[in-house]
Structures are given as structure tokens and as C-alpha cells.
Amino acid sequence: MPKIADIQLPDFPLLLAPMEDVSDPPFRALCKEQGADVVYTEFISSEGLIRDAAKSVMKLDIYERERPVGIQIFGANLDSMLQSIEIVEKSNPDIIDINFGCPVKKVVSKGAGAGILKDIDLMVSLTKAMVERTHLPITVKTRLGWDDTSIKIVEVAERLQDVGCKAIAIHGRTRAQMYKGNADWKPIAEVKNNQRMHIPVFGNGDIDTPEAAMRMRDEYGLDGAMIGRASIGYPWFFREVKHFFETGTHAEPPTMEERVEAARRHLQMAIAWKGEKLGVFETRRHYTNYFKGIPHFKEYRMKMVTSDESADVFAAFDEVMERFGDFEFAET
Ligand SMILES: Cc1cc2nc3c(=O)[nH]c(=O)nc-3n(C[C@H](O)[C@H](O)[C@H](O)COP(=O)(O)O)c2cc1C
């Protein structure tokens, strides 16, 4: 069973991917409850942390209930990355993850995120310096390469391992692909099959059914699956994958009661974390997904996404339960 440094994980763990504006404490808690074995924060700017930018600092908030939890940081400047480690350590995460995969222009143009895939020596030396600076396990999340002419992920992963990286999660796309085309898991399997690799190799990209997760385990032989988009508004995806692994059958989709309860808890946790106003405002974007597939739902959704008071949103949840309580959701 895979281990990240001393963190023992179950067989073929499911990891919640870091996702900007999605992987916040309430969402991470819901995914954890539904079976995510490791969760990550969204990426946090090392420059933002050392400038003490409130928005970056708030992203460091983690809770006991979600452990093991990784805080993900990004940057390209060695000094800033090292300084930010000291700030991150104060939050006491279980893992510090480095983002070497973000493809967006404003990150890449500074040499951060996937930008570093153009300079593998820098990627390795930065990782090494970070490993040496902290007692916490350093892990890396990256892509296959910069473009399809420069895929050297087998060599890159081995070099990262050799400088002390404790696990690697690989999104099966290049930077040039952004999110287009299909994720290719074959090069990730090649990383795993490298006889010299002994750290966990987690696969990422396009796991959108329990069957896909099973293929990643059985056909590609990876150590675990990192799941992103399939979990957005659907934290039950983790339990559905686990159910499928255990029984070979599909779990029943979550009932209306479970969905209302998840929405309610999401809002409660968001308010507890960032206060009534922001909590109400920033949880709005999740409701559509929680209640997807219900006909004639618009009136209720509008109430949820336009009310400024949490009491009104909670009342809308009650109404939904009353009106649609016995609605049967189709399997996703
Ligand atoms: C909304 C969104 C935000 C993301 N933010 C991050 C991030 O902060 N850090 C990161 O490493 N990857 C980020 N990603 C990439 C995901 O972690 C993941 O690699 C990608 O979505 C592929 O996995 P999936 O097919 O399971 O979604 C983001 C993806 C999405 C859709």
C-alpha cells in the first residue's frame, strides 16, 4: 500500500485534485466524508504569501477533519518559494505540494506552474531546495511535458525522486494541450514501470467514471487516482468509485435528502470559515451541480443564488426537500 513519506494510505487511494476556487475547506470536507483519501488546497502563490496578501493567506486554512491534507504552492523564484515554505509550515499541513502543472498564461509566463517544464534542471533544483528546507514531505504535481515533442516524464520523475520528492501526481496532458484532447495515461504508466521508481505515482486526468478509475488501477498499474472535475458539485464520486471497486456494481446515486444535506453543510461550513456574506456568495456556484437533473427547478435555484441572507438560502433548501423529496435521480 502506498505511503507518502510516513503517511500510510489505503490500497489505490483516491486523491482530491487541487482546484482553484473549488478545493476550499468546505468542499474538501465533503469530499473527505465521501471517501477522498488525500485532499489538496487550491494552488497558492508563493509571492502572494510572502507579501502577506490576505487572499493567499486565507487559502492556508486547513482543518483537522480533512487530514491528510496537502497545501499546494506555486512560483518560480527560489527565494520566494523557500520563504513561503516557512509560512506554509505554520498551518501544519501533512504535505507540501509543488504545482509544476498549471497551464494558464499568467502563471506560465513567469516560469511557474507548467512553465517550469521548459527548464527541467530548475524544476529539479527547486524541488531539492524545498525538500532540504522543510521536515514536511514535498510532493509534485505536474504534466507530461511542455508539448508532445518534449515528453521526458520518466526521466523527470526519477530525478525528482532522487532529490527527495515523496510522491508525484501526473496529469496525462502536456502544457500545449491545456485541457484539450484526452489525457494519455501511458506515459504515466511508464513512470510507474521504471524499476528505479519507489515513490507513489498517482495518475490524473479524465477519471469521470468508476470504470475509468479501475482501468487506471488495473490496466495502468498506478498507485492511486487524483480526481478533479468529476467531483465538482459531486463529492459522492469518491464513494461511487470505492463502491465499484468493492462490489463491481454501481452505487445508488445520492438521494435528494443527501444532496440537500450536502448543500446545507457546505453553506454552514463556508459561513463558519469566511463569514455570512462571503459564505453565502461564494457557495452559490455549487448548487447547480448538487441539484442537476431536477425538472422545473429554476425557481428554487434562483432563490438559492440570489438570496443575500443565509436564512433565505436554508429556507430554499427546506422547500426543495418538501417539493422534490422523493425525486429519483438517474445514475450519472
Ligand atoms: C476549476 C479548476 C481549477 C484547477 N486548479 C488547479 C490548481 O489550483 N492546481 C493544480 O495543480 N491543478 C489545478 N487544476 C487541474 C486539476 O487539478 C487536474 O489536474 C485537471 O482538472 C485534470 O484532472 P480531471 O480530469 O480529473 O479534472 C484545476 C482544474 C480545474 C478544472
- Ligand 1 binding pocket includes 71 (Cβ within 6 Å): no
Pairing of strands 14-16, 7-8: unpaired
171 is in an annotated binding site: yes
Q: Which domains does the chain have, with CATH numbers?
A: 3-247 (3.20.20.70), 256-325 (1.10.1200)
List 15, 69, 96, 102, catalytic entry:
102
- Ligand 1 binding pocket includes 203 (Cβ within 6 Å): no
Q: Decide if 31 is catalytic.
A: no
What does the pLDDT read at residue 324?
Answer: 94
Residue 95 has pLDDT above 70, yes or no: yes
Model confidence over 283-296: pLDDT tens digits?
998 898 899 989 99
If you measure from the C-alpha of residue 126 to the centroid of ligand 1, how many angstroms do you get, rounded to a whole number?
Answer: 22
Work out the average pLDDT over 242-251.
98
If you measure from the C-alpha of residue 172 to the centroid of ligand 1, how many angstroms do you get, rounded to a whole number?
Answer: 12
Please state, rounded to an integer, the average pLDDT across all residues of the chain: 96
If you measure from the C-alpha of residue 20 to the centroid of ligand 1, how many angstroms do you get, rounded to a whole number?
Answer: 7
Work out the average pLDDT over 248-275.
96
What does the pLDDT read at residue 332?
Answer: 67
Residue 80 has pLDDT above 80, yes or no: yes
For atom 29 of ligand 1, the residue with the nearest CA is 19
- Spatial neighbors of 209 by CB under 8 A, at least 6 apart, are 230
Work out the average pLDDT over 173-181.
95
Model confidence over 107-164: pLDDT tens digits?
999 999 999 999 999 999 999 999 999 999 999 999 999 999 999 999 999 999 999 9
If you measure from the C-alpha of residue 43 to the centroid of ligand 1, how many angstroms do you get, rounded to a whole number?
Answer: 10
Q: Cβ(120)–Cβ(158) under 8 Å? A: no
What does the pLDDT read at residue 137?
Answer: 98
Calpha distance 268→34 (Å, rounded): 18
Work out the average pLDDT over 25-46.
98
- Ligand 1 binding pocket includes 141 (Cβ within 6 Å): yes
CA-206 nearest atom, ligand 1? 25
Work out the average pLDDT over 263-279.
96
CA-204 nearest atom, ligand 1? 23
Residue 270 Cα distances to 36, 62, 89, 225, angstroms: 19, 13, 24, 27
Against a cut of 0.85, is the pTM above it? yes
Residue 217 has pLDDT above 80, yes or no: yes
Work out the average pLDDT over 306-330.
94
Work out the average pLDDT over 38-60.
96
Residue 258: phi, psi to the nearest 5?
-65, -35
Residue 331 has pLDDT above 80, yes or no: no
Q: Which residues in 126-222 belong to E strands, given as ranges?
A: 138-143, 168-171, 201-204
